Structures are given as C-alpha cells and as structure tokens.
C-alpha cells in the first residue's frame, strides 16, 4: 500500500507555481471574506478556485493599472505575465479534471453573455476566452427579460440544480455577464454507517450548543484515514473515490477537516491568524500521516450568496470597480472607457452526509458602461473670476501654452458697485 492515498502527481513538498498560487489565493480570499462577514458567527463557504476563473476572464480584458492590480492580486505576477498565468490556470484545471475522471464527478463551465446593442466584444479577447476557458459566448438583447432566465438556466444546468438563480435583472447599461461554475460530487472511500448517526451537541462560536445529526466512523485499518498534528490545530483527511491499489485506482479528492486545539479559539479566529506559506494544511500535504481511530462529523447542508467586491478590494483590486479608473479597453472593439465591474456575486452550496459530499459554486461578474446610464451633465460654469488655462494638443496630450488669468484684456473697466447712497429706494 502506498504511503499516501492521494494522486502522486499532485503530492509532494514542492507544489507547482500554479497550485501554490491557488492555495495562497484561497487563504487570502477566505480571510478577507471572514473579515467582511456581517454575522461573524455565520458559516463561511467559498470557492476561491471558482472565483479565480471568473475573475481571470475579466482580467484578460483589462489594461493599465487595472490589469496590474488584477494580475498581482489574483496570480501574484506583473501585468506582462498575466496571459501566461491565465494559460497555466487553464492547464491546471484540465489536469485536475482528468485526474478525477471516473472517480468523482467534477466539472467546470464558463459562459459570457454580451449586450449586442451596447458594445462589441473584441475578437482577440473572445478567442482567448474560448481557448483558455472553453467559454460559451453569445450576444443578446439585454432588454429581453428572457436573457436573465437563460443565464440562470445555465447555472442550474451546470450545478446539477444546486444553484438555480445567480442573476435578478439586467439593466440597459450592462454590457456583459461573465460566469464560472464548479460542481463536485464524490462518495467517501469509506462511507459512514447511517445506523451510527445520532443527534449530538455541536458547539458554535460563542458557546451556543445545539443538537445536530452527527456521523460516526471507526477507522481500524492503516491508510483509511490521514491525520496531521499541528502546533495549534489537528486535522484529518477523508478521501473520496475508489481504492483499488492493485488495479492502479487511488482516491483522487479529499476533505481536510481542521480543528483548533484551544477550545476558546474559534475556527474563524484561527483562520485569520494563518499564513499560506507556513500552514502545513496548505503547503505540505505529505505532513499528513496514516492513523487509526474515531471520527465524528456532522452532516452539512449550507447554501450562501456573497457579494465579493469588498473582499476583492481588501485583497488589492480597486480600480476595476470604479467607472473613472477602470480600464477594460482590451475587452471591446470600441476600446470603451467607462466600462467597469458593477457586481461580483459568489453563490455556493456544500452538502455532506454518510454517502459523501456534493458542492457547487458560481461566480458572476457584471460589466457595466457608466456613460450609457447617465445623461450628459447639465452645466453652468462661469469663468468670471481668475482661472488657469492650458492649450493642449489632443492627439499627443502635449501642453503648448499655459497660464493664469486675472485680467483677461487691457481695456477692462471697473464695475460700478452698488452703495447705500445709490441703492434703489424702497
């Protein structure tokens, strides 16, 4: 029996650059999401891996400072390396899907819908989305309510019905909707016995104790479960997929369950204190060792919807959400300015029972054109006091004259001021 029941291609003390980035992003994203929770005692279910695919599609259309921020935050690279990083992410996704084929159900999908009456998607940008993400792209009439239904049906289909609605409406000024989905369903390598499940107490942060169906399993054979004893936590790894080493079948996915050793430290606070480069759960899968013993785990059925713009802003992406500073000129043939990300939603579902787990995530980004929704400003500007001027060449931006004006011409005459003496009589 091999020392680790996890695919050897993905195991080792030295992760690939792409995997290191995904795991770094996962922890940073999780910490930022935890900080931005309205209810600090609520669950937190996220898939930064899924969000990364959606945001990478958006980033591919960015330029200038917007591109720099997204490249550094999402991939830890500079703007010039973004295209290569996106291609590497695509290749990693293909490896993961291929490695899990026949063992668990794992699928991803990407879709792009554009407002054909507003702008035109740049041809090179669209080709890149198809190549790197296998994206389905369609130009639609956003004034037709059926387009929203079409997008929601896409999410429903690609999450096997776990996430049925990702969008409420589209506005005339919305140019594009970019969405990425992720679906997982796997059976435990060692299933829990339903007869052993019973109502037991679960203690939430803050000390609230409530009963919940608690699954129970005895792992008597070496290799059935993996354990990691950390400085301030303990963790077990439960695998999904068939185990038949003689015929070359190994479990291909595992659920890492982490428990702070100090009962006075909440899972949220423990998470916020961690760093991805020093946390063995993230950086050293080989740190897990074979173990025997008992595991009790509650059934889970959690569904959430997150607005992740505040999360991304905390992580370092800011210009993309401001119509004045955003630069997505690579996204459209018109090289449109004023195009920005107006919405990024992240829908997640995670279920676990005696048979295994089922999970789904959809990240949806809406691109909006600011000038399309606002009428031209009505102004009344009077240069009737000192002012600054500059004469600028429009094409190059060069300033060829500049100055301040306090006396517009030499023939000016004083203005007769009204005084009490010549003021009109009442």
Domains of the chain: 8-187+300-372 (3.30.497.10), 194-298 (2.30.39.10)
Average pLDDT over residues 165-187: 97
Rounded CA gap, 114 and 229, in Å?
Answer: 50
Question: Would you state the pLDDT for residue 295?
Answer: 95
Question: Would you state the pLDDT for residue 12?
Answer: 42
pLDDT band at 421 (very low <50, low <70, confident <90, very high): low
User: For all residues of the chain together, what is the average pLDDT?
Assistant: 88
Question: Would you state the pLDDT for residue 17?
Answer: 83
Rounded CA gap, 311 and 313, in Å?
Answer: 5
Closest CA to 34 of 343, 321, 308, 400: 308
Average pLDDT over residues 103-110: 96
Give just the sign of the alpha carbon dihedral 370, 372, 378, 381: positive
Share above pLDDT 90 across residues of the chain, in percent, rounded to a whole number: 62
Task: Encode pLDDT of 69-99 as tens digits.
Answer: 999 999 999 999 999 999 999 999 999 999 9
Question: Would you state the pLDDT for residue 415?
Answer: 82
Share above pLDDT 70 across residues of the chain, in percent, rounded to a whole number: 88
Question: Would you state the pLDDT for residue 373?
Answer: 43
The number of helices, as runs of H, and strands, as runs of E, in the chain is: 10, 15
The structure's pTM equals: 0.84
* Dihedral angle over CA of 366, 367, 370, 375, nearest 10: -70
Question: For residues 20 and 43, which has the higher predicted lDDT (pLDDT)?
Answer: 43
pLDDT at 213 over 90: yes
Task: Encode pLDDT of 295-313 as tens digits.
Answer: 999 999 999 999 999 999 9
């Amino acid at each position: 029996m091999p020392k680790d029941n996890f695919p050897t291609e993905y195991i080792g003390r030295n992760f690939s650059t792409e995997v290191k980035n995904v795991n770094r992003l996962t922890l940073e994203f999780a910490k930022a999401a935890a900080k931005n929770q309205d209810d600090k005692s609520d669950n937190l279910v996220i898939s930064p891996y899924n969000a990364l695919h959606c945001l990478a599609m958006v980033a591919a259309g960015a330029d200038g400072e917007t591109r720099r921020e997204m490249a550094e935050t999402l991939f830890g690279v500079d703007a010039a390396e973004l295209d290569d990083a996106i291609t590497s992410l695509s290749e990693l996704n293909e490896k993961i899907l291929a490695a899990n084929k026949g063992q668990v159900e794992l699928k991803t999908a990407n879709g792009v819908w554009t407002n054909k009456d507003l702008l035109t998607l740049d041809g090179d940008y669209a080709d890149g989305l198809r190549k790197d993400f296998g994206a389905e792209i369609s130009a639609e009439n956003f004034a037709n309510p059926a387009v929203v239904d079409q997008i929601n049906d896409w999410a429903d289909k690609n999450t096997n019905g776990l996430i049925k609605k990702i969008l409420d409406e589209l506005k005339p000024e919305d140019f594009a909707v970019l969405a990425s989905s992720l679906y997982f369903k796997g059976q435990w390598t060692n299933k829990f016995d339903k007869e052993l499940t019973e109502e037991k107490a679960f203690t939430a942060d803050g000390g609230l104790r409530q009963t919940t169906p608690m699954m129970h399993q005895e792992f008597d054979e070496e290799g059935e479960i993996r354990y990691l004893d950390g400085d301030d936590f303990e963790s077990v790894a439960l695998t999904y997929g068939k185990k038949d080493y003689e015929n070359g079948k190994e479990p291909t996915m595992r659920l890492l369950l982490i428990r702070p050793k100090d009962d006075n430290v909440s899972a949220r606070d423990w998470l916020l204190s961690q760093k991805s480069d020093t946390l063995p759960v993230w950086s050293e899968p080989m740190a897990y060792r074979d173990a025997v013993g008992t595991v009790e785990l509650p059934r889970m059925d959690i569904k959430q919807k997150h607005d992740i713009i505040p999360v991304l802003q905390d992580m370092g992406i800011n210009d993309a959400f401001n119509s004045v500073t955003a630069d997505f000129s690579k996204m459209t043939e018109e090289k449109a300015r004023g195009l920005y990300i107006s919405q990024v939603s992240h829908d997640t579902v995670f279920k676990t029972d005696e048979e295994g787990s089922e999970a789904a995530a959809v990240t949806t980004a809406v691109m909006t054109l600011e000038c399309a929704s606002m009428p031209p400003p009505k102004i009344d500007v009077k240069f009737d006091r000192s002012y600054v001027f500059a004469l600028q060449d429009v094409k190059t931006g060069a300033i060829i004259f500049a100055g301040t004006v306090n006396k517009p011409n030499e023939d000016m005459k004083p203005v007769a001021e009204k005084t009490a003496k010549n003021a009109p009589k009442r």
